[in-house]
Structure 1
Amino acid sequence: MLAALMQVIDSSIVNVALPDMMGNLGASLDEIAWVSTGYILASVIVMPMTGFLGDLFGRKRYFVGSIILFTLASFFCGAAHSLGMLIFWRIVQGLGGGALMTVSQAVLLESFPPEEAGTAMALFGLGVMVGPTIGPTLGGYIVDHAGWPWIFYINIPLGILAASMITAYVHDSAHQEKPSHIDYTGIVLLALSVSAMQYVLEHGEREDWFESRVIIELSVFAAVGWGALMWREFTTAHPVIDFRVLRHRQVWVGTLLGVVMGIGLYAMSFTLPVFLQNNLRMTAQQTGLVLLPGALATAVSMGVVGKLTNRYDARWLITIGAALFATAAWNLSQITSESGTHDFFWPLIGRGLGLGMMFVPLTTLTLTGLAPRDLPQAVGLYSFFRQIGGSFGIAGIATLVARHTAEYRSVLGEHLTSSDPQVLARVELLTRAMIARGADAGTAHQRALTMLDRMVLGQASVLAYARIYLLAAGLMLVLVPLLLLVRRPRASKAGAEHAIME
């Protein structure tokens, strides 16, 4: 769990420090964005290959090596004095970090007997779900009091501790087989197609999607690359990604559910901090404190649901969790520009409880009962597609927020006419306030109109975010009928025998 926690915190903690990095390294917004994009690209490429790489090097050796690589790269990220070096070491850090979550999950599932898989996933989920919430708060505190390099240096003692514990307590799986052939073609196709797709998702909204020739070309390249990758991996004897594990109904349905959940989850996880900071003018630390009760609710929920998953049908628990999440999202859709921190408390508590009730049972439903040989590949694919769902979610949500804001701004602007007494009164009030601050009448009037336009833009933004939260509520409810496609898994004979041997 410690290794997974390092990875998810690092993914969220860096975003808080980007403005300070821009000033320190003399970088533009587009340039500094590659500090995050480079890490995401590298980690997403590695995720589906972790099963293959674990077999190639030995899972324990690969796990420890990934932590060491992640830790060393963290040191060099903190010591970087140029943007180019920082981006390079972030890519290296991503190559190590991509394995931390998936291998941690596989190790936990194999360390517990099948009937206690819910408990294992609860332990894993604590790090995965709580990490992104405490990351911004921790990052804001570190940047304010120590400087941005320390958001990387804090990984060093954690990495040393994690590597030491894994060396002492984790053992290689008895079921892994070292591949006799390395699928270099598959690795190249994976890297190129994922890189192209991730670039499109990261930069599509900024470049107006298919109005950009680069986005069009990379989209076609990604589609062709994915087609070639699928054909290659299904026809080669030693695939780097064994898509054949999707023959298990629970895996492909669970992966589909994970994609849908990832889109809905990121719709709120991405927009809430932005809304709190841009619309309600909160600092990064204040935003983290507002989000903290929801994180604590997730931790409590996972602790309880981990035990319940061992006893009850996971599909019912997911249904209850989806209902809680959808209700919380609907409540958040009622926010206004006058909302205070207290208006977010109970919706975020409900969201946190719902997340815990969905994440643990869904992961258990997807991965429990698989043969030990298939487990690492299934974990890698499940994590990979959930991350891809999140990437699609963030890209889509960013586009929808921008477009809805423009739509609402236009609609609200149509109702602001120079003959409206309320508009005239507001402009007059703002003009007098500007004159009182020393502006002449003409300048004061112009500033008053500018302030009124900002108010309209702010209200349009609030309405756009409210619409997004309604969409998130709908996405969570889509999970429920999809659950009818999967049966409650039973531990396989191989899985039971493996549990006894462990």
Structure 2
Amino acid sequence: MNPPKIAGAPAPLTGWQFMLGTFAVALATFMNVLDSSIANVAIPTLSGDLGVSVDEGTWVITLFAAANAVSIPLTGWLTQRVGQVKLFVAAILLFVLASAACGLAPNLPVLLAARIVQGAGAGPLVPLSQALLLSSFAREKSSSALSLWAMTATVGPIAGPALGGWITDNYSWSWIFYINLPVGLFAATAIWVLYRKRETPSRKLPVDKVGLMSLIVWVGALQIMLDKGKDLDWFNSPVIRTLTVVALVGLLFFVIWELTEAKPIVDLRLFTGRNFLGGTIAISIAYAVFFANLVLLPTWIQEYLGYRAVDAGLVTAPLGIFAVLLAPLMGKIMPKSDMRVLATLAFLGFAGVFLMRSRYTTGIDAYTLVLPTLLQGIPMALFFTPLTAIILSGLPPEKIPAAAGLSNFARIFAGAAGTSLMSTMWNDRTIQHHAQLAEQTSVNNTAYVHALASIQTTLHASLFKAEAIFETQLSAQASMLGLNDVFWLSAVIFIVIVPVIWITRPRGDGAAKAAGAGGH
């Protein structure tokens, strides 16, 4: 995606300013993305220290996600009122201030309030980081900048669990929030110094109060429904049914209102663009599958393979190796390539990785466990940047913050929905496999009787204890088979959605040129 040149616009950043600007913007993105996952592994410790149940502690994740989801699509409207640079720096400082409040929180209510503020501050960071990079760098360097941005966006969720586990084990859960302070203050200072003279025009816009309130209602209801659905047994719970109705009715009202409002708070008309529509659908579905697996794999590793949180995080860490190494190469390849081809290769690569994982067994060794994760870094490098370029291509600069905000909103929400759906599928398939395997545990089954006898002999266990041990092994096998089904379906989804990429226009399309894109 190359931003169109505008008469009177500041000259592109070069030299050390280019390097520092890219690093500072990417660092702010990394801080945000990291914080979305770093708290997950600390919930048990955090809950114990604050004297609440683990279920209550998970609201630390839920409310952050809800506030984040609400604020992301507001980025375009806020940018027009405040300006890109001021809004970006203000969002970083709000995030830092809320992080300090989280670390100092003496009880759960204070912590939850601080997490809501932190989530609200985090919302504009990702879309504005994309907009700032595209508006500040020369056309020939915009691909490199986007590649470096994508590297931080993908490494954050990978590093989060490992870093969160290490900090919690060795220090205190408060430090998972305190580490944001030096990072955020450095990023805010560097960005203000480099970008303050590159501020975009601001104008007074009327506040679409009805649109804003309906957005808060349906997004909040849907986010809480997705986060708490599994814990409350989904639609068997009146709470989940009520949240679902509120979310659906609120969404319908919101769409109708925003499409008929003269000055909408979220520009839904962006979906009339073929590249925005196709690119957003493709990246959202792909991210839903990718993120769900990123959550489920460490969970299985900890629960059924006996890994510590830190070790489970380290198993997933190789995912970032190729993503980091290939980022500079992507910056050189993209200007000469068809983004649709690169994205297609990424989807096929993901499908191959998930097919490899669908052959996992309970006796898996470390090499077999890590190899697909390492290889997944290759399609990771081909994933975010080309699809982001497709989504933002053909848009004038003033539309980019709104487009980036709306597409990131769809992607992040898809990630939450995908995690909930895949987690439910894993649970249901595990129950089915357990029932099928349990049918073989009969005294008339010679293999079963021999297995019990072997356990009794090897462990000097009673029959009762041998049956308990066998049940544990059976449950682990059922869980493995259920997860294999998830991996297999993930591979199929990546193959099936490839055609979605090809509804978008290629680089150099006449319509894109007319819109002033000048290519991806």
TM-score of the superposed pair, with normalisation by structure 2: 0.91
- Write out per-residue CA displacement over residues 140-160 of structure 1, whole angstroms, 9 at most, x where no aligned residue: 111111111111111000011
Matched to 2:79, the amino acid is G
Residue 93 of structure 2 is aligned to residue 75 of structure 1: no
Residue 358 (str. 1) matches residue 383 (str. 2): yes
CA distance in 2, matches of 1:115, 1:230: 38
1:319 counterpart = 2:344: yes
Distance in 1 separating the partners of 2:473 and 2:324:
38
Counterpart contact for 1:66–1:97, Cα < 8 Å: yes
Matches within 5 A, 1:172-183: 176-183=201-208
Confirm or deny: 8 A CA contact 1:431 1:448 kept in the other structure: yes
Choose which of 437, 450, 461 in structure 1 pairs with 2:479: 461
Is the alpha carbon distance of 1:174 and 1:304 closer, same or farther for their aligned partners in structure 2, counting shifts above 3 Å?
same
Q: In 2, Cα distance between the equivalents of 1:117 and 1:201?
A: 36
1:487 aligned onto 2:505: yes
> Cα deviations across residues 430-450 of structure 1 (Å, max 9, x unaligned)?
3356656xxxxxxx3222211
- Aligned 1:22-421 pairs, distance under 5 A: 22-171=47-196, 176-421=201-446
Distance verdict in 2 for CA 1:350–1:88, change over 3 Å? same
Deviations 1:412-435 (A, max 9, x none): 011121122222222233335665
Q: Which amino acid aligns with 2:308?
A: T
1:192, 1:225 within 8 Å by CA — same for their partners in 2? yes
Secondary structure at 1:485's aligned position in 2? coil
> Distance between the aligned counterparts of 2:42 and 2:205, measured in 1?
44
Contact 2:66 2:119 in 1 (8 A): yes
For residues 330-367 of structure 1, what are the alpha-carbon distances to aligned partners after superposition, in whole Å with 9 as ceiling and x for unaligned?
A: 00110000001100232112211112112111111111
Write the distance in 1 (CA, Å) between the matches of 2:234 and 2:36. Answer: 25
On the 8 A contact 1:116/1:310 being kept in 2, the answer is: no
* Closer, same or farther: CA 180–320 of 1 in aligned 2, 3 Å: closer
Supply the AA of the counterpart residue of 2:418.
G
Measure, in 2, the Cα distance between the counterparts of 1:324 and 1:344.
17
Matches of 2:235 and 2:404, distance apart in 1: 34
Q: Which residue of 1 aligns with 2:13?
A: none
In structure 2, how many angstroms separate the alpha carbons of the residues matched to 1:480 and 1:116? 28
What is the letter of the counterpart of residue 463 of structure 1? L
Q: Is the 8 A contact 1:327 1:350 kept in 2?
A: no
Return the alpha-carbon distance in structure 2 between the equivalents of residues 217 and 74 of structure 1: 32
Q: Which residue of 2 aligns with 1:430?
A: 455
Identity across the alignment (%)? 34
Superposed displacement of residue 124, structure 1: 1.0
Equivalence for 1:440: none
Offset, 1:215: 1.4
2:443 alignment partner, SS class: coil
1:466-489 Cα distance to aligned partner (Å, 9 max, x none): 111111111111232112211114
- Code of the aligned partner of 1:77: C
Instruction: Kindly state the Cα deviation for residue 228 of structure 1 after the two structures are TM-superposed.
Output: 0.9
- The SS at the match of 1:191 is helix
List gaps (5 residues or longer) in structure 1: 437-443
Q: Given the alignment of the two structures, is residue 477 of structure 1 paired with residue 495 of structure 2, yes or no? A: yes
What is the DSSP-based 3-state SS (H/G/I as helix, E as strand, rest coil) of the residue aligned with 2:336? coil
After TM superposition, the structure 1 stretch with the greater mean CA deviation from structure 2, 352-361 or 421-430, is: 421-430
Deviation at 1:32, TM superposition (A): 0.4
Would the aligned equivalents of 1:325 and 1:350 in 2 still touch at CA under 8 Å?
Answer: no
Whole-angstrom CA distance in 2 between matches of 1:177 and 1:81: 40
Per the TM alignment, residue 300 of structure 1 is displaced from its structure 2 partner at its CA by 1.9
Residues in 2 aligned to 1:300 and 1:276: alpha-carbon distance in whole angstroms? 26
Report deviation, 1:492.
Answer: 4.5
Tell whether the 8 Å contact from 1:121 to 1:306 is kept in structure 2 after alignment.
yes
Q: Which moves more between the two structures, 478-487 or 425-434?
A: 425-434
What's the CA shift for 1:299? 1.5
Q: Report deviation, 1:256.
A: 0.7
TM-score scaled to structure 1, two decimals?
0.94
Counterparts in 2 of 1:110 and 1:493: CA distance versus 1, 3 Å:
farther
Deviation at 1:405, TM superposition (A): 0.3
Displacement, 1:183? Answer: 0.8
Aligned to 2:11: none
Q: Match of 2:267, as an amino acid?
A: D
For the 8 Å contact 1:58–1:172, the answer to whether it is kept is: no
- Conserved? CA contact 2:440–2:448, under 8 Å: no
Count of matched residue positions in the alignment of Structure 1 and Structure 2: 492
Q: Identify if the C-alpha distance between structure 1 residues 202 and 278 changes in structure 2 by more than 3 Å, giving closer, same or farther.
A: same
**CA RMSD in angstroms, aligned pairs only:** 1.9
SS at match of 2:219: helix
How far off is 1:115 after superposition? 5.0
CA contact (8 A) 2:34 2:159 kept: yes
**Deviation at residue 252 of structure 1 after TM alignment:** 0.8
- Please tell me whether the aligned partners of residues 372 and 494 of structure 1 are also in contact (alpha carbons under 8 angstroms): no
Asked whether the equivalents of residues 39 and 61 of structure 2 are also in contact (C-alpha less than 8 Å), the reply is yes
Alpha-carbon distance between aligned partners in 1 of 2:55 and 2:469, rounded to the nearest angstrom: 28
Name 2:6's counterpart in structure 1: none
Q: Is 1:328–1:350's contact at 8 Å kept on the other side of the alignment?
A: yes
Q: Residue 170 of structure 1: SS of its match in structure 2? A: helix
Task: State the Cα deviation string for residues 60-80 of structure 1 (Å, max 9, x = none).
Answer: 111111111110111111111
Q: Is the CA contact (8 Å cut-off) linking 2:75 and 2:124 kept in structure 1?
A: yes
Where 1:373 maps in the other structure, the secondary structure is helix
Contact 1:48/1:381 (CA < 8 Å) preserved in 2? yes
CA drift at 1:19: 1.1
Q: CA deviation at 1:175?
A: 5.6
CA shift in 2, pair 1:489/1:381, >3 Å: farther
